[in-house]
Structure 1
């Protein structure tokens, strides 16, 4: 009887698409059954239960590791979470870690210090079991094939056998049940994906609506002026859309005043150098962004003499800005906003004001 083994292939996804395809191809060419995490969407409790059940049914577990730690559930990446679960179930694990001298694109590597540290710890965990180092996708393809063949011989799993090679109708009944169950799982996964995407879109739409509906009164102090001028109500939406690209790194309160000067109406007049926009207005803007969980204080280190406040986008702030940009790209003509006097005004699209 020819036994087919089921093999779970785990890795970070976007940076290892081609490598995963070759590993899955190698498993199929050997006549066995690959199971990939791309069948699931990480981050949902019900989907994690489905992934656990798939790992439970596998005979071997393969983990591929390059230079990304991947998306996380708390302190652990989903890849490491899968690895720990397979190990806890006593499933033979085979690790394939990229070699230190292997060429690898910079844009497929983590730059965040915490993620790099977590990745190093994860690699050390993998190295405690069976491991191979690979230099490129072709090298990985060969080493996975060889390592699995050795496992099949020295550590054979339970595997699967074709129904016509077994006696009794109960086997056919069980296979039919499993096939139907698998089909139901796929439909559940599909519906869960739709549900999550719809919930996320709805959440971001609500935040964008809050930004559009809330207004800030903005005034300017011109050079050689004697008082605040050009008082105008602006939506938080317009302000967030202007400041968000700068906040992706970090933005100081001083620079915020400079960027907000884009909204001044007397373009020919020069603003005063120090806080041409009221400090309390800037504080109110960022306080509102904090309430909506769009920004947070920056953790980058600055000189002890630097008394500026620095802000950066939260993960939610990044997603809201992405949704704003997506809507603009999909329908740029819709980007108008009604002023307090009832007239339509063209929205600003991330134009920067040059520093004086």
Structure 2
């Protein structure tokens, strides 16, 4: 896979402009991504956070020493040395490049301050405890960086950067597909396992032919007036299952189930002229929230229904209900028609 590495270049700046340019050109020819002082001015404490972030994202770190120690922080440490110490602390592979003959560096490119010169010598000694190469001039430095970085990459593999459209190899795609298949299998087993654990209803709760009274509101127009009357209808739990169960073989939204039961209650009212007024128009029946909630809670307690699991659109806020395996078995036992044919042998 085509992988590129980000390489942080650390050095003083004004005295090593030509050398830095040569190093950056060498890195670009190696398809590396150079990063360093050109991105931000040294000596700015606000920039130190940015500098650290760029170092953290880099795969390799190169430090180039010349004849100057460089601008220093309030603690008296040059920003170049601070960058070097931070890269070492992070465990980033580092390589140093030091002048082959410090005495040949032009006076204008050296520290005239004795304290700064001492700090530079101490810093050079620190850098030379790790992998270093000597350089004579800008062109020599460029070639030394190329050979040195090849060695550093070969012996210290790093993640690097990959184009987004090339990030996944065919092997990676195949591995992801295999993992997705395994996840699907585990999810299927989990569902099957949960179904197995609720294969029987919990008959410790009211069920079967036991009765429940459900409150409702009966609305419509009667003798040219809008009328609303409260009332109750008595059902067995089996009757409720027979009405709602077929709609929950597959998942059904609660508003649809409630409307189905409202229509069933209206039909009951219209057929019961003895207890309910007749001759209504635009007639409707609506179960109360409390009564409907009692139905849902009871059917869940009996382990006959459970919430739906299919994916919905974001705009679909309805609660979906479906029969459990126990609920499906129970519905079949209520509504399936047995054959009356007797086989004669």
TM-score (norm 2): 0.47
Larger CA Rg, structure 1 vs 2: 2
The TM-score with structure 1 as length reference comes to 0.46
